[in-house]
């Protein structure tokens, strides 16, 4: 499943690439089941508290959370928070590590950044609820969220829909070729509180919608502008985004969260200090690789409990532009 020369050329030229069928239905099922268990427990808890008239236990993955949300928006959002956790990468169980370490995907990643691969801390679970304001993510580059000294490094975002992503339920839109121009000006306090590059400030390149089947993988550079818009269906558009970087890029592998103090020079820091990076492949020292789900959870939780200080990039609020 490594990328062909033609695919590599397309990725570097356009700033994105769709790799169809990278995950089979069987590959996705453990993660879908794990997320379903979180939803089930939340629904049962809130049903017992009298906040739901129906736990919607008969609904399949893709419909259960949306059915709950359409009955009671407050309850639907509470269960969504349980799924996403702090920042959006809440679930850190075995199925998530298995999904991150998926061998066909890692072969593609190796084609782009080489054999020594670090799992960038910022993986996210994305349940886009029907009509949910916070499910819409405005135009941005992922580099807008990382420290400035990392802009010169290629950090790959791999966006994988767990159900079919369509124009109706809010597939991603990307702006091709703009990654070559570097970082754009972002503003804080954009739509739903996200960082945002207002549409009128983006380069005049036509955005491209990217509908995908469940299990396809969209590979993006950290400088590729992208966004997703309203889910106009009655189902949840489930997706995950995973991030990978070369071991040569700044990371916090083997660092103590307490070392991130206001006095520390930002150029010595990981690209995104608040969460734990982890070694996926190390040709010289395979013992550093994270294969154990328990080890993965401990790494994630150690940073989540501390939440190291992150210096800002100097982005100004949207209303002050």
Domain boundaries, the chain: 5-27+88-320
**Cα separation of 296 and 284, whole Å?**
20
Structure tokens given for 246: 């070369």
Q: Average pLDDT, stretch 57-83?
A: 94
| Cβ atoms 209, 167 nearer than 8 A | yes
At residue 307, does pLDDT exceed 90? no
Is a pLDDT exceeding 90 seen at residue 302? no
The residues, any chain, with a CB within 8 Å of residue 95's CB and separated by 6 or more, are 30, 31, 33, 34
Low-confidence winner among 54-58, 81-85, 244-248 (lowest mean pLDDT)? 81-85
Q: How many CB atoms lie within 10 A of CB 269?
A: 23
Alpha-carbon gap, residue 223 to 15, rounded angstroms: 8
Q: Right CATH number for 5-27+88-320 from 2.70.98.60, 1.10.10.10, 1.10.10.1100, 2.60.120.620?
A: 2.60.120.620
Confidence category of residue 86, pLDDT binned at 50, 70, 90? low
**What's the pLDDT band for 90 if we cut at 50, 70, 90?**
confident
How would residue 107 be classed by pLDDT, with cut points 50, 70 and 90? Answer: very high
Under DSSP, is residue 46 helix (H, G, I), strand (E, B) or coil?
helix
Segment 71-100 mean pLDDT:
88
Q: Binning pLDDT at 50, 70 and 90, where does residue 87 land?
A: low
CB 137 within 8 A of CB 144: no
């Amino acid at each position: 499943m490594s990328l062909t020369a033609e695919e590599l050329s397309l990725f570097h030229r356009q700033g994105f690439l769709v790799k169809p069928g990278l995950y089979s239905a069987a590959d996705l099922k453990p993660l879908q089941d794990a997320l379903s268990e979180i939803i089930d427990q939340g629904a049962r808890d809130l049903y017992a508290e009298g906040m739901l008239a129906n736990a919607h236990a008969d609904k399949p993955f893709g419909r259960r959370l949306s059915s709950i949300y359409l009955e009671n928006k407050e309850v639907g959002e509470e269960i969504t928070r349980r799924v996403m956790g702090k920042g959006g990468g809440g679930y850190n169980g075995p199925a998530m590590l298995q999904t991150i370490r998926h061998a066909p995907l890692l072969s593609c990643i190796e084609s782009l950044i080489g054999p020594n691969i670090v799992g960038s801390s910022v993986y996210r679970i994305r349940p886009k609820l029907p009509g949910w304001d916070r499910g819409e993510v405005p135009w941005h580059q992922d580099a807008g969220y990382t420290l400035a000294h990392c802009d010169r490094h290629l950090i790959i975002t791999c966006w994988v829909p767990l159900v079919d992503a369509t124009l109706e339920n809010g597939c991603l839109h990307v702006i091709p070729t703009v990654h070559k121009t570097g970082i754009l000006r972002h503003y804080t306090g954009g739509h739903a509180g996200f960082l945002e590059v207002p549409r009128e400030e983006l380069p005049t390149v036509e955005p491209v919608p990217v509908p995908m089947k469940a299990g396809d993988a969209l590979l993006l550079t950290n400088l590729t502008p992208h966004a997703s818009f309203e889910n106009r269906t009655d189902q949840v558009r489930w997706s995950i985004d995973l991030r990978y970087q070369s071991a040569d890029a700044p990371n916090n592998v083997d660092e103590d969260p307490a070392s991130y103090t206001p006095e520390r020079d930002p150029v010595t820091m990981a690209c995104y200090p608040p969460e734990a990076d982890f070694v996926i492949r190390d040709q010289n020292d395979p013992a550093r690789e994270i294969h154990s789900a328990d080890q993965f959870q401990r790494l994630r939780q150690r940073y989540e409990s501390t939440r190291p200080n992150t210096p800002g990039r100097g982005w100004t609020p949207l209303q002050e532009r």
